[in-house]
Structure formats: structure tokens, C-alpha cells
Amino acid sequence: MNDKSVRANIRYVAPTAEKPIYYASEGGAEAELSIEHAEFSDREITILDARTQLEDASLDQHGFSLVSHATKIEDFHKLNGELDAYEKEISALVLAATSANSVHIFDHTRRSDSADVRGQHQIRETASIIHNDYTDYSAKKRLRDLLPGEAEIRLQKRFAIVNVWRTIAGPVFRNPLACCDATTLDAEDLIASERRAKDRIGELELVRYSSRHRWFYYPEMQRDEALLIKTFDSLAEGVARRSVHTAFENPLAPKDAPPRESMESRMLVFY
């Protein structure tokens, strides 16, 4: 297998006096990143081919893992009648991968790097800054908001939040997703930032540069593959608690490569 490690730019945040505010787009052709009180700098780094350089990647050690997953869904832009079936598929997938007791799926977000595709399907832009979806505070708040009647009992035991990320078109050439090995990430690298959406206010984490970070991606992900990304784990010791991630411009992408179309599905995972 050819190694497809690359040199590419990724976008880190610089510390500022004010807390950054991230505004979540609502989708569409004009959807774009919007952040206040934040300054970013591009760093050219090596992004390693995880297929050849990290064959044993795991959620609990590295914070991410690639799994085989042949879905029966043909058109992810027409999921309404098949949503229950897909959620059963990915519930079984994550339960097997984590040995957890149960999951609660709460979000599906589709993205594309093409304005035409975004406009046609009213979906969001690719996430082109390094980030993690939750802080410790916002992960627990999300659990309380979603499951108010059982949250306090759930909080007494371990829980995590896992994303299932996949292509919903052809192979991913343009703007693939890169994940940072959680063993190279320190708490002081993370900057808590407010996240404002139409229906709620939460927090996410932006990331400052460290030469310790090791980055990986899975070249040309296929429709029968899924990338599991841990965005929070309440267990404080012995496991990866998060994997920060970002899309990046892939220098190996053919000039005529089709647009990236992807979907991430978020779920609470209970142990």
C-alpha cells in the first residue's frame, strides 16, 4: 500500500484577551465559518497516512478509529424515511466498537466544500479550523439538555460523546478530515470558546499550536467506511478524552476531484 502522508496547512488559534465566539451556520450556498474574538494562523505540518502509519488506532488510546461499515442507505440527502434504520446501524456499530451499554443519537450534520451542493441540499460548510466539539462543561450540559429526567443518574457513571463521520458521496479526495493523536494533546493546548447556534448556546474547544501534535488522516475514505471520533469522555484517567480535528486542503487531490460530501452523527455513549 502506497503511503499518502502529506505536507499541508492547518489552522490553529492564537490566544486572545476575549473568549472566542463561534457562530454555527444554518447551511446553504453561502454558509461559511464565522468566529469573533479569535486570530488564526496556518501551520504547514506533516499529516500522516493512518492506513500505513497507525494501523492500530483506537478510540480509547488515540481518540479516533476507522471501521468498516457497509450501510444500506443509498441517498443521505433523503434520509427522512430511513433515519431510524440508519440510527440502528450506527448504534450497533458504536456499541460494538466501545463495549458500551447504550447510546443516544442526537444530531446528524451534512457538509460539503461545494457551494452548489450546499445550496441544493441546504447543508453546512466543511469545518476548516482545528477544534473539538465539546468542553467538559458543554458535554455535561448537552446530556442534561437532552435527557433531563435521567441526566443526574447518568452523570454518576462514565459517558462519552462519539461522532460517526463518513462520506455520503464517492471517495473523499478534497478536504478530508485530519485527527490529532490524543496522546500528543495537552489540556493547555485547548481554548474554551462559546458556540452560538439558532436554538442554543454551548461551548467548543479551539486549539493552539504545539510541536508535539501528531496528525493523521485516512486517504480516500469510501462509502463502506466510517471514522469514529471521540469528542468527550468523562473518564479522567487512562483513556483519550478527546480528539481535535479539522478539514484540510489535500495536495494529493486530483484537480477534477468531485466535491466532498460528508455527514457526522453525534451520540451520547453510556457505560
- pLDDT 10s digits, 218-251: 999 999 999 999 999 999 999 999 999 999 999 9
Q: What is the pLDDT of residue 114?
A: 97
Mean pLDDT of 61-68: 98
- Asked if residue 25 has pLDDT above 90, the reply is yes
Place of cell 466501545: 98
Mean pLDDT of 148-152: 97
Mean pLDDT of 46-64: 97
Beta-carbon contacts of residue 230 (< 8 Å; ≥ 6 apart): 59, 60, 63, 64, 160, 161, 162, 163, 182, 240, 241, 242, 243
Q: One-letter amino acid identity for 159?
A: F
- Asked if residue 1 has pLDDT above 70, the reply is no
Q: What is the pLDDT of residue 16?
A: 84
Q: What is the pLDDT of residue 36?
A: 94
Q: How far apart are CA 62 and CA 182, in angstroms?
A: 5
Q: Please state whether 122 falls in left (phi above 0), alpha (psi between -120 and 50) or beta.
A: left
Place of cell 440508519: 86
Mean pLDDT of 192-215: 96
Q: What is the pLDDT of residue 198?
A: 87
Give the Å distances, CA to CA, from 205 to 38, 141, 232, 245.
12, 15, 11, 11
> How big is the CA angle at 170 (ends 29 and 268), to the nearest 5 degrees?
75
Mean pLDDT of the chain: 97
- What totals of helices (H) and strands (E) does the chain contain, helices first? 5, 15
- 3 state SS of 26: coil
Q: pLDDT confidence of 69, banded at 50, 70, 90? A: very high
Beta-carbon contacts of residue 167 (< 8 Å; ≥ 6 apart): 221, 222, 223, 225, 260, 261, 262
Name the pTM for this structure: 0.96
- Asked if residue 196 has pLDDT above 70, the reply is yes
Q: How far apart are CA 106 and CA 265, in angstroms?
A: 8
The domains of the chain, with CATH numbers, are 6-270 (2.60.120)
Q: What is the pLDDT of residue 17?
A: 87
Cell numbers placing 237: 484517567
What are the start-end ranges of the E strands in 138-199?
Answer: 159-167, 177-180, 190-196
